[in-house]
Amino acid sequence: MDTKEEWNHFIETSDTEEQEAIKLFLTSLKAKRENKNLTHIASLLQIKTKRIDDYTLEMEMPNSPLLDNSIGIVHGGLTATLLDTAMGTMASLVPGNKRGAVTVELKVDFINPGVGEKFICRAHVIHNGRQLVRMEGKVSNENGIVIASASGTFFKLSSE
Amino acid sequence: MDTKEEWNHFIETSDTEEQEAIKLFLTSLKAKRENKNLTHIASLLQIKTKRIDDYTLEMEMPNSPLLDNSIGIVHGGLTATLLDTAMGTMASLVPGNKRGAVTVELKVDFINPGVGEKFICRAHVIHNGRQLVRMEGKVSNENGIVIASASGTFFKLSSE
Amino acid sequence: MDTKEEWNHFIETSDTEEQEAIKLFLTSLKAKRENKNLTHIASLLQIKTKRIDDYTLEMEMPNSPLLDNSIGIVHGGLTATLLDTAMGTMASLVPGNKRGAVTVELKVDFINPGVGEKFICRAHVIHNGRQLVRMEGKVSNENGIVIASASGTFFKLSSE
Amino acid sequence: MDTKEEWNHFIETSDTEEQEAIKLFLTSLKAKRENKNLTHIASLLQIKTKRIDDYTLEMEMPNSPLLDNSIGIVHGGLTATLLDTAMGTMASLVPGNKRGAVTVELKVDFINPGVGEKFICRAHVIHNGRQLVRMEGKVSNENGIVIASASGTFFKLSSE
């Protein structure tokens, strides 16, 4: 049985929740085909980016079955992934940085349960040093409830 | 065009990297169908668990295109996801805890670039308090190179 | 030779920097005699407290020879002491808390060198939970330059 | 009334706890006079250093009235000071580092109440990078009870 047959068989026998995941995977694959720079995980999480100013950036992630942990709230690791992605992207874009930045360390404080229709992460530069970028981030849902806040240190690749 | 047709069309036009992702998504959906308790993200990351002793647990995650960040190493957020999953699972299983545990805070130190064939996360209980479980975690690759280390605080749901 | 004689001898042979420390120690001992609740370290650091609102408090600490680390800037540990004192005090005073709070964890980000005439620490409650108080803190000098920022988790003693 | 008279008056009217502090201050001033490189705070805390190997160092601090917080256990800020001092000193001494290191960030987990006769801090290098030194630290009392553990990032001054 080849991949196509296997997929067809799985789709035919799928329940509602599985159908939702199947559609999400296809949407994610198509988005990545359109934009090769997108990572699989950013595509799966359907993350959208909005630049606010020179030192601030927002990323938005809709809730989906992919985000669930075992007790029906957003998996803390995916909240951390959203924070790391937004903070790291902003750190890569600070004025004077040309070659990106890698995460040195990240501390995430989980404040309220991760429930909501979408999650908005605001990443802001605290200090743009010669080699280190110090960042803060905050994840809220569509009602403004704070889900998590974070601090992180990023190392500019251009300085290596 | 229905979902099946769309999938068939996408599969027929896919390149090698896409085919790898397509197979991974199918494997993940099948694994979750077999084990309803599995979360989508744990299934996608193909995480396997091994209990070491009362206070220690290991989770293993094979490298895959899903893990890549934009510069060819494992996305820091997914390293954090592996750590949070392993540390949170271990915190939920400490002697005397019956109803699980939620992450209060997690600090991840990224030590070496996330390269390798697989990533092994060891989560260990530092202190099993009445309401809080204090954990440490470490992610290494198959050669024993430390990718990340972490500390975290978890709150026992049974005590709320 | 008794303590008084020893002190007299030390004072007679002291240089200018030592005289400054000697005066500081005496001021600190007198302040603590006036206010038994004061800790030695808060007295030595000459920390003064100002309540801003129900969820915010400020502590101010003048620069002094006691604060110097070996390279002429404020010792990071004492910046952490100021932060822990302010954040812990504020956590002890949240509405509904009667018996104080202990520090669970504290993360301090050192942003700019600790120079200045005085250091002002603002501690603010992020979340006042049933058992945990989540705090943030920031230390600036008299010119508004941020020296350090911090996040911390505190456990209410009243709930044990 | 000059400083000497003030001190004599204070000493004559002092109670037992004050006498202990008075002696401690004098001991500290004398230690610093002997060793100008000592900081006031390291002298006050009576910190002693022992190098274990190329990447590990221990510092020991006796309990004293100076360490007390308001509930009779060691002030968390002073535990953090001991950790920052030991980890920062070790980071300054890594092979290849000539000009010292400054703390970028420090996370302290407080595990057990800070009680005991003395506190031993072991600081160990996790990674000696080109510009960053990644450290871990642990504070135990004389019975081996872990009071606090910590992770921190230090920046080599020689690389600026």
Q: Give ipTM to 2 decimals.
A: 0.92
Shortest CB distance from C80 goes to which of D70, D84, D110? D84
| CA-based nearest distance B71→chain D, Å | 20
Of the candidate ranges A2-16, C113-127, D113-127, the one whose mean pLDDT is the lowest: A2-16
Q: Which of C10, C41, C80 sits opposite D29 (nearest CB)?
A: C10
Asked if pLDDT for residue D159 goes beyond 80, the answer is: no
Which residues from D are below 8 Å from C65, CB to CB? Answer: 40
Nearest CA in chain A to B81: A77
Least confidently predicted of A112-126, A139-153, C86-100: C86-100
Mean pLDDT within D24-32 = 93
Instruction: Using CA coordinates, name the residue in chain D closest to A104.
Output: D153
The pLDDT value given to residue B23: 92
Classified as helix, coil or strand, D65 is: helix
Chains linked to C by 3 or more Cβ pairs within 8 Å: A, B, D
Nearest to C160 by CA among C114, C118, C101, C104: C101
How far, CA to CA in Å, does A115 sit from each of A76, A108, B104, D35?
Answer: 11, 17, 16, 58
Which residue has tokens 């920390």?
A: C47
Tens-place pLDDT, residues A42-54: 899 999 999 999 9
Q: How far is C133 from chain A (nearest CA, A)?
A: 10
Say if residue A160's pLDDT is above 60: no
User: How far is residue C103's CA from residue C155's CA, in Å, rounded to a whole number?
Assistant: 6
pLDDT number for residue D1 = 60
Q: If you average pLDDT over every residue of chain C, what do you get?
A: 93
> At residue B158, does pLDDT exceed 80?
no
Secondary structure tally for chain D: helices H, strands E? 4, 6
Residue type (1 letter), D57? L
How would you classify residue B144: left for phi > 0, otherwise alpha for psi between -120 and 50, otherwise beta? left
Confirm if D49 and D43 have CB atoms less than 8 A apart: no
pLDDT in tens, B59-107: 999 998 888 877 778 999 999 999 999 999 999 999 888 789 999 999 9
pLDDT at A101 over 80: yes
Residue A3, phi-psi category: left (phi > 0), alpha (psi -120 to 50), beta (remainder): alpha
For B6-30, what is each residue's pLDDT tens digit? 999 999 999 998 999 999 999 999 9
B88–A110 C-beta distance less than 8 A: no
pLDDT at A83 over 80: yes
Q: Quick: pLDDT tens for C29-81.
A: 999 999 888 888 989 999 999 999 999 999 999 998 888 877 778 999 999 99
User: Which amino acid, A139?
Assistant: V
Q: How far apart are CA C113 and CA C122, in angstroms?
A: 18
Tokens describing residue A70: 């075992």
Contacts of A159 in chain D (CB under 8 A): 131
- The model's confidence at residue C105, banded by pLDDT at 50, 70 and 90, is very high
Show the 3-state SS of chain C.
CCHHHHHHHHHHCCCHHHHHHHHHHHHHHHHHHHCCCCCHHHHHCCCEEEEEECCEEEEEEECCHHHECCCCCECHHHHHHHHHHHHHHHHHCCCCCCCCEEEEEEEEEECCCCCCCEEEEEEEEEEECCCEEEEEEEEEECCCCEEEEEEEEEEEHHHC
**Other chains touching D, judged by 3 or more CB pairs under 8 Å:** A, B, C
Cα separation, B97 vs B55, whole angstroms: 12
Q: Which two tokens stand for residue D37?
A: 């490189």
Which chain B positions have a beta carbon within 8 Å of A80's beta carbon?
77, 80-81, 84, 106, 108
Average pLDDT score over residue span A30-44? 89
Shortest Cα distance from B102 to chain A (angstroms)? Answer: 9
Number of neighbours of residue B19 by Cβ within 10 angstroms: 12
Give the gap in angstroms from C-alpha D150 to the nearest C-alpha of chain C. 9
Amino acid at D41: I
Q: Where are the beta strands (DSSP E) in chain D?
A: 48-53, 56-62, 101-110, 118-128, 132-141, 146-156
Take residue D55 and report the two structure tokens written for it. Answer: 């990447």
- Which residues in chain B have their CB less than 8 angstroms from residue A19's CB? 3
A104:B84 CB<8 A: no
Which chain C residue is nearest to residue A133, measuring alpha carbons? Answer: C111
Average pLDDT on D123-152 reads: 97
Taking contacts as CB-CB distances below 8 angstroms, the residues of chain A near B105 are 107-110
Two tokens at B137?
């975690």
Q: Cβ separation of A41 and B75 shorter than 8 Å?
A: yes
The mean pLDDT value for B125-145 works out to 97
Q: Would you say residue D160 has pLDDT above 60?
A: no
Q: How confident is the model at residue D155 (pLDDT cuts 50, 70, 90)?
A: very high
Q: Which residue in D104, D110, D133, D134 has the most chain B C-beta atoms within 10 A of its own C-beta, making it the best mutation to test that interface?
A: D134
CB contact at 8 A, C154 and C133: yes
Closest Cα in chain C to D14: C33
pLDDT of residue A1: 60
In three-state form (DSSP H/G/I as H, E/B as E, the rest C), the secondary structure along chain A is CCHHHHHHHHHHCCCHHHHHHHHHHHHHHHHHHHCCCCCHHHHHCCCEEEEEECCEEEEEEECCHHHECCCCCECHHHHHHHHHHHHHHHHHCCCCCCCCEEEEEEEEEECCCCCCCEEEEEEEEEEECCCEEEEEEEEEECCCCEEEEEEEEEEEHHHC
Q: Does A153 contact D155 at a Cβ distance shorter than 8 Å?
A: no
CB contact under 8 A, C127 and A111: yes
User: CB B30 to CB A10 under 8 A?
Assistant: yes
Q: Residues D64-91: what's their mean pLDDT?
A: 91
Interface test with C, best of A87, A146, A151, A153 (most C CBs within 10 A): A151
Question: Which of B6, B22, B105 lies nearest to residue A108, judging by beta carbons?
Answer: B105
Distance (Å) from the C-alpha of residue C146 to the closest C-alpha of chain A?
Answer: 9
Confidence of residue A150 (pLDDT cuts 50, 70, 90): very high
CB contact under 8 A, D109 and C105: yes
> D158: helix, coil or strand?
helix
- CB nearest D3 (choices: C19, C40, C100): C19
> Count of CB atoms within 10 A of residue D97's CB?
17
Q: Are A105 and D153 in contact (CB < 8 Å)?
A: yes
Q: Angle, nearest 10°, between helix axes D16-34 and C16-34?
A: 160
Q: Which two tokens stand for residue B34?
A: 């077999």
Q: How confident is the model at residue A68 (pLDDT cuts 50, 70, 90)?
A: confident
Among the ranges given (A104-108, B89-93, D17-21), the one the predictor scored with the smallest mean pLDDT: D17-21
DSSP chain B: --HHHHHHHHHHT--HHHHHHHHHHHHHHHHHHH-TTS-HHHHHTT-EEEEEETTEEEEEEE--GGGB-TTSSB-HHHHHHHHHHHHHHHHHTSTT--S-EEEEEEEEEE-S---SSEEEEEEEEEEE-SSEEEEEEEEEETT--EEEEEEEEEEEGGG-
Contact A4 B26 (CB under 8 A): no
- Residue of C104, C107, C155 with shortest CB distance to B107: C107
Chain C residues in contact with D11 by the CB 8 A cut-off are 3-4, 7
Q: Which residues pair with C124 in a beta bridge?
A: C56, C136
